[in-house]
Amino acid sequence: MSAWDAPTATGRARHPQMPVEDFEDLVRSAPETVRSRLVFLAGKLEVEPMPDQVHRAVVMWLLRQFLRERPELSLYPAQGLKVGGDGEGRARPDGVLAPDENFVGQGEWADPVGITLDTAKLKEYAD
């Protein structure tokens, strides 16, 4: 990596690895076992590791809690989201809690407006 391509103080690469449209094409053509792990953050393609059983158990516990306490919300597994301050990033958390039908008509990569919880944030608490 040249100094020119190194991340800036804001964490963004000066030149993205690819345009977001190319990332979306890559995801569409990837096998299902890979596509849900691909993310595009700050102009950089990354592959998220598969969640372990503890992480899956936490997501299931959350699902049960929210079904009981907030039945108007749904836990959407692997919902593609437009992320980053400019909306040019793409991520697919293991679960996104949002109002029923929040993502209807938005396509594979939805606007995160209306999200109550994104399970990717759980990683911060687990460490």
Express each pLDDT in 69-114 by its tens digit: 888 888 888 899 998 888 889 988 888 889 989 999 999 999 999 8
Within a domain: residue 10? no
Domains identified in the chain, total number: 1
If you search the block for the tokens 């690819």, which residue do you land on? 18
Within a domain: residue 7? no
Within a domain: residue 13? no
Q: Tell me what pLDDT residue 124 has.
A: 46
Domain that holds residue 40: 20-126
Tens-digit pLDDT profile for residues 5-31: 445 455 555 688 899 999 999 999 998
Within a domain: residue 1? no
- Which candidate, 56, 24, 59, 52, places its Cα nearest to that of 38? 24
Residue scoring higher pLDDT (2 or 23): 23
* Main-chain phi, psi angles of 5, to 5 degrees: -90, -10
Q: In what order do the strands lie in the sheet with 117-118?
A: 73-77, 95-99, 117-118
- Which candidate, 51, 68, 67, places its Cα nearest to that of 120? 51
Within a domain: residue 46? yes
Q: Residue 33 maps to which CATH number?
A: 3.90.1570.10
**Residue 53 reports pLDDT greater than 80:** yes
Q: What is the mean pLDDT of residues 54-78?
A: 86
Within a domain: residue 4? no
